[in-house]
C-alpha cells in the first residue's frame, strides 16, 4: 500500500476553513458528532434515492448508522451503509473545497440532463471538518455503491492529506477519529448517546452506539415534525430548533401542525427568540427546509415570502415526487398552495401572539423592520401585515398599533399622521410636532429605513389616510382644542422678501399655524417625497428628489415679529433669511448649508 500512497495538498479554501472551524466556528465541541451523523444520514438518503432507478443499489435490510468508541485505541468510528465515495469524490469533497451536500444535491437535480442520475445528497459539507476539533487524525474509508473498489482518505488537518487503496466488505463509509487527549469524554457511550438524543433524534435511520460489545439504540428515528404535538416535549422542540436554526437561544414561538385534505404536509416552524447572525449581508430569501417524505430536498424553495425570512423550520410533504427538480419547484401548483397555507398560518400565529403586548414587543424589537417589508412588497397580505406593525408615538409610552392610534384619534382629525427620521428620541423633540402637541393630535414616529417607503404603498388604514407631517400643508383647524396663542404678526411684506432672498434654495416661504415655540420649520412640497426620503436620496448620491423645500415661518414667534416689523428697511435681511433656513435644517437633523459660515453668524449674534 505504501507504494500507492498519494499525498496531496489541501485546496486553499479547505486550509482556511480548517483553521476557522477548529478555532472559531463551533462553541460546543459536541457538535462534531451532529455534523458527522448528519452527513452519514445524507449518504444513506443518497443511496436510497439512487436505488429508485437502480435497484442493485438498494440498502441492506437492517441498515443503520453505527458509532463505535474504542477507549483503548482512543478512536471513535462512525460507520454508515450509504452511497460511499470513489477516489475522485474523496479528493473532491474532502480535499478541494468545502461544499454543502444538500445545496449541491438540489442544484444537481435541477441541472442534470433528462435521464442522467444526479449528483446526490451525501456529499460532505463544512461540518465534516469539525472532526478536527476533537481529533488529531481523521481517516475516511469509503466504497462507492455499485463498485468493488475502496479508498482511504487520511489527514491530520495540517495542510495535506493522503489517498490509498483500502478494503471494505460493503458499500458505505467509515470515519475513524483518533481523539485528542482532551476529548476522551467523547469515547464514553453514555455521552455519545446523550449527544445523539439531543441533536439527531429525528433522523429516520436507526443510530446505535456500541457498548460492551452490543449496539445500543441511540435515537427514536421519528421525524419530530411528523409526531403529534401531544407526544413532543418543550425540550425536544427547543433542541430541534437549535439544530435546524444553528442557534443557541430559545424559540419565541413554535408552530407545529399537519395539513390534510386537498394537500398534505407536516410543518414544524420556529420564530427565533433572538435576531440571528446574518452570514450574508443582504440575504433576503426564506431558508425553510423542504422535505419530501422525510427526505431533505432543498432550503431554496422560498416556502415563505422574504418578509418572513426570519422563520426557521421544516415543511414535509407527500405531494411532490422525490426527484423533484428546481424548475418543477418554481412552477408546480402544489408548492404554490403550500406556500400560501404556510404564510397564512404564520400570519395567524403572529396575530395571536400580538395580543400579549409584552411578549410581542420582544418579537418586534428583533424583526419589526423585516415585517414592514411585507407592506411594501406584498399586495395580497398588505392589510394583514399592517395590523401587526408597531410604532413609537408622540402621545403614548412604548409601542402602539395603527388600530390603537385610530381609536385615539381626535374629533375632527382626518388622517393618521407620521413623522419620519433616523432617531426616535430626536423625533420626539422635533419642532415639526409642536402644533400637533398643542392640539393633542398624536403623531407616529418612524425611524426604520423601510419607513420611507411603505406608508405611500399602504395609503390608508381603516379608511384613514396616512400622511407625513413634513409633506405639504397640514390643516388642523378642524381639530377642537389647543391652547390660546398670541396674535399673529402681519407677514405679508416679509414673506416675499424672504422668498426672494432664498429663491435658489426654497420653492416657497409661507406662514404656518403648526408651530408654537419654534420660529421656522421645513416642509416638502405637496407632491413628491417627504423630507426624510429626500435626505435618504441625497445620502445615496441621487439628489434630493421632489424639488426644493418649503420654508414655513411662525408669525407668532418674537423673532418673526421683529423681522416683520423691520422688513422694509432691513439691509441685513438677506443674511438673516439664510440663517433662518439653516436653523430649520438643523432642527430637522440636517446640516447647515455652510457649517463654518453658520457658526460665524451664530458667534457674531451672541457677541452682538
User: What is d(CA 556, CA 438) in angstroms, rounded to the nearest whole number?
Assistant: 14
Q: What is the mean pLDDT of the chain?
A: 85
C-alpha separations of 21 from 13, 126, 350, 487 in Å: 12, 8, 36, 73
pLDDT in tens, 541-597: 666 556 788 999 999 999 999 998 888 777 788 888 989 999 999 988 788 988 998
Q: Are 417 and 436 in contact (CB under 8 A)?
A: yes
Cβ within 8 Å of residue 75, ≥6 positions away: 69, 176, 177, 178, 179
C-alpha separations of 459 from 382, 386, 463, 528 in Å: 11, 11, 9, 14
User: What is d(CA 466, CA 109) in angstroms, rounded to the nearest whole number?
Assistant: 48
What pLDDT score was predicted for residue 224?
87
Q: Are 514 and 434 in contact (CB under 8 A)?
A: yes
Instruction: Count CA within 13 A, CB hemisphere, residue 400.
Output: 20
Give the position of cell 409633506.
471
What pLDDT score was predicted for residue 551?
93
pLDDT in tens, 306-322: 999 999 999 999 888 76
What pLDDT score was predicted for residue 15?
64
pLDDT in tens, 337-362: 999 999 999 999 999 999 999 999 99
| Mean pLDDT computed over 55-70 | 89
Give the position of cell 427526505.
295
- In the sheet that holds 520-523, the strands lie side by side as 508-511, 550-553, 520-523
pLDDT in tens, 485-528: 778 889 999 999 999 999 989 999 999 888 889 999 988 887 77
C-alpha separations of 551 from 109, 548, 579, 585 in Å: 62, 10, 12, 10
223 phi, psi to nearest 5 deg: -60, 120
User: What is d(CA 452, CA 373) in angstroms, rounded to the nearest whole number?
Assistant: 11
C-alpha separations of 123 from 102, 109, 189, 540 in Å: 8, 14, 27, 43
Cβ count near 403 (within 10 Å): 12
The count of residues in the chain is 608
Buried b (16+ CB within 10 A) or exposed e, 522-545: bbbbeeebbbbbbbbbeeeeeebe
Q: Are 393 and 421 in contact (CB under 8 A)?
A: no
296 phi, psi to nearest 5 deg: -65, 130
Residue with the bigger pLDDT between 365 and 41: it is 365
pLDDT in tens, 130-178: 888 899 999 999 999 999 999 999 999 888 899 999 999 999 999 999 9
Question: Which H/E stretch holds residue 277?
Answer: none
In angstroms and rounded to an integer, the radius of gyration of the C-alpha atoms of the chain is 33
Give the three cell numbers for residue 575.
443674511
pLDDT in tens, 264-302: 999 999 999 998 755 444 577 898 988 877 766 677 889
Amino acid at each position: 500500500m505504501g507504494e500507492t500512497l498519494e499525498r496531496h495538498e489541501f485546496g486553499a479554501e479547505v486550509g482556511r476553513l480548517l483553521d476557522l472551524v477548529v478555532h472559531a466556528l463551533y462553541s460546543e465541541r459536541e457538535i462534531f458528532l451532529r455534523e458527522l451523523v448528519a452527513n452519514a444520514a445524507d449518504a444513506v438518503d443518497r443511496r436510497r434515492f439512487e436505488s429508485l432507478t437502480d435497484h442493485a443499489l438498494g440498502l441492506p435490510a437492517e441498515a443503520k448508522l453505527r458509532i463505535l468508541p474504542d477507549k483503548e485505541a482512543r478512536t471513535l468510528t462512525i460507520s454508515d451503509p450509504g452511497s460511499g465515495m470513489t477516489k475522485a469524490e474523496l479528493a473532491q469533497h474532502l480535499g478541494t473545497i468545502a461544499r454543502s451536500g444538500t445545496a449541491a444535491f438540489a442544484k444537481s437535480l435541477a441541472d442534470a440532463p433528462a435521464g442522467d442520475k444526479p449528483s446526490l445528497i451525501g456529499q460532505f459539507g463544512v461540518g465534516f471538518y469539525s472532526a478536527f476539533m476533537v481529533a488529531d487524525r481523521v481517516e475516511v474509508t469509503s466504497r462507492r455503491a455499485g463498485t468493488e473498489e475502496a479508498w482511504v482518505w487520511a489527514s491530520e488537518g495540517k495542510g495535506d492529506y493522503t489517498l490509498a487503496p483500502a478494503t471494505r466488505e460493503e458499500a458505505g463509509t467509515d470515519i475513524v477519529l483518533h481523539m485528542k487527549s482532551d476529548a476522551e469524554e467523547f469515547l464514553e457511550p453514555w455521552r455519545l448517546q446523550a449527544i445523539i438524543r439531543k441533536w439527531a433524534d429525528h433522523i429516520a435511520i436507526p443510530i446505535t452506539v456500541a457498548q460492551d460489545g452490543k449496539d445500543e439504540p441511540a435515537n427514536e428515528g421519528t421525524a419530530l415534525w411528523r409526531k403529534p404535538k401531544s407526544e413532543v416535549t418543550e425540550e425536544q422542540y427547543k433542541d430541534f430548533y437549535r439544530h435546524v436554526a444553528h442557534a443557541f437561544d430559545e424559540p419565541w414561538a413554535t408552530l407545529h401542525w399537519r395539513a390534510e385534505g386537498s394537500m398534505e404536509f407536516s410543518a414544524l416552524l420556529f420564530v427565533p427568540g433572538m435576531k440571528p447572525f446574518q452570514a450574508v449581508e443582504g440575504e433576503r430569501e426564506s431558508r425553510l427546509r423542504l422535505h419530501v417524505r422525510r427526505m431533505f430536498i432543498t432550503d431554496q424553495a422560498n416556502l415563505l415570502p422574504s418578509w418572513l425570512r426570519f422563520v426557521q423550520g421544516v415543511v414535509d410533504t407527500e405531494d411532490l415526487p422525490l426527484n423533484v427538480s428546481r424548475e418543477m419547484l418554481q412552477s408546480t401548483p402544489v408548492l404554490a398552495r403550500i406556500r400560501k397555507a404556510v404564510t397564512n398560518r404564520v400570519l395567524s400565529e403572529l396575530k395571536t401572539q400580538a395580543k400579549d403586548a409584552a411578549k410581542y414587543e420582544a418579537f418586534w424589537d428583533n424583526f419589526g423592520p423585516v415585517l414592514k417589508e411585507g407592506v411594501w412588497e406584498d399586495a395580497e397580505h398588505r392589510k394583514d401585515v399592517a395590523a401587526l406593525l408597531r410604532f413609537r408615538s408622540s402621545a403614548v409610552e412604548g409601542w402602539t398599533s395603527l388600530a390603537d392610534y385610530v381609536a385615539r384619534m381626535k374629533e375632527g382629525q382626518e388622517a393618521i399622521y407620521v413623522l419620519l427620521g433616523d432617531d426616535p428620541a430626536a423625533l420626539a423633540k422635533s419642532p415639526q410636532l409642536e402644533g400637533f402637541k398643542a392640539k393633542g393630535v398624536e403623531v407616529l414616529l418612524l425611524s426604520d429605513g423601510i419607513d420611507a417607503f411603505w406608508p405611500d404603498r399602504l395609503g390608508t388604514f381603516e379608511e384613514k389616510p396616512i400622511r407625513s407631517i413634513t409633506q405639504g400643508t397640514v390643516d388642523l383647524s378642524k381639530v377642537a382644542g389647543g391652547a390660546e396663542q398670541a396674535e399673529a404678526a402681519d407677514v405679508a411684506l416679509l414673506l416675499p422678501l424672504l422668498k426672494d432672498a432664498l429663491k435658489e434654495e426654497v420653492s416657497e416661504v409661507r406662514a404656518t399655524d403648526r408651530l408654537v415655540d419654534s420660529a421656522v420649520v421645513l416642509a416638502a412640497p405637496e407632491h413628491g417625497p417627504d423630507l426624510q426620503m429626500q435626505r435618504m436620496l441625497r445620502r445615496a448620491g441621487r439628489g434630493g428628489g421632489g424639488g426644493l423645500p418649503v420654508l414655513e415661518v411662525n408669525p407668532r414667534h418674537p423673532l418673526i415679529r421683529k423681522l416683520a416689523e423691520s422688513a422694509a428697511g432691513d439691509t441685513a435681511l438677506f443674511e438673516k433669511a439664510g440663517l433662518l433656513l439653516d436653523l430649520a435644517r438643523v432642527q430637522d437633523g440636517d446640516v447647515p448649508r455652510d457649517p463654518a459660515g453658520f457658526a460665524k453668524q451664530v458667534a457674531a449674534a451672541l457677541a452682538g
